[in-house]
Amino acid sequence: MLAIIVLFVVVLAPSLRTLIQQQEQIAQQQREVASQKADVAQKKKDVARWDDPAYIEAQARDRLLYVYPGEESYLVMGSENRKAESTPTTDSGTPVSSTVQTPKVDWVQAMLSSVLTSGLTDETTQQLVAPDVSGTGDTK
């Protein structure tokens, strides 16, 4: 009788272990499916919000700073409670100026000149010189 029990355990133990592992995998997959269904439901709600004209208007005003004709829009910079020595920086790390600057170069004229020069010249690309758009007057 003891030999039959040992044989029974030896034969069925690997199958029982496989069954338990498969049930754990099934439970994990079901949790993932439930999570993905919740994510899909949230995304459907987000897409449905774009059918509302008021939501579209609010997004245009907030994200793109759009205003209706006749309205005045003000952008307040530096209103957050920050330390006096910490200045905002761009993504490249350069500090953001608090003064409005006018460009010293007419970029439209520079672009038109570049297009015309490259289209009407017989020079190679190594011989062509890029137009000065830095505003410093240097021709490197």
Closest CA to 112 of 136, 126, 133, 127: 133
> Pick the residue with more confidence: 75 or 58?
58
pTM of the model: 0.40
One-letter amino acid identity for 81? N
Question: If pLDDT is split at 50, 70 and 90, which confidence band does 85 have?
Answer: low
Cα–Cα distance for residue pair 46/64, rounded to 1 Å? 19
**What's the rounded mean pLDDT across residues 105-124?**
83
- Residue type at 77? M
Which tokens in the block code for residue 72? 């005045």
In this structure, what is the dihedral angle of CA atoms 5, 7, 11, 14, given to the nearest 10 degrees? Answer: 70
pLDDT (0 to 100) of residue 87: 73
Q: Decide: 88 and 95 in contact? Cβ < 8 Å.
A: yes
Instruction: Kindly give, in sequence order, each residue whose CB lies less than 8 Å from that of residue 88, ignoring residues fewer than 6 positions away.
Output: 77, 78, 95, 96
Q: Both tokens of residue 47?
A: 């897409």
How far is C-alpha 60 from the geometric centre of its chain's CA atoms?
18
134, pLDDT greater than 70: no
Coil, strand or helix: which one is 24? Answer: helix
Q: Which sign does the torsion angle of CA 99, 102, 107, 113 carry? A: negative
Residue 32: other Cβ atoms inside 10 A: 10
Q: Which amino acid is located at 109 in the chain?
A: Q
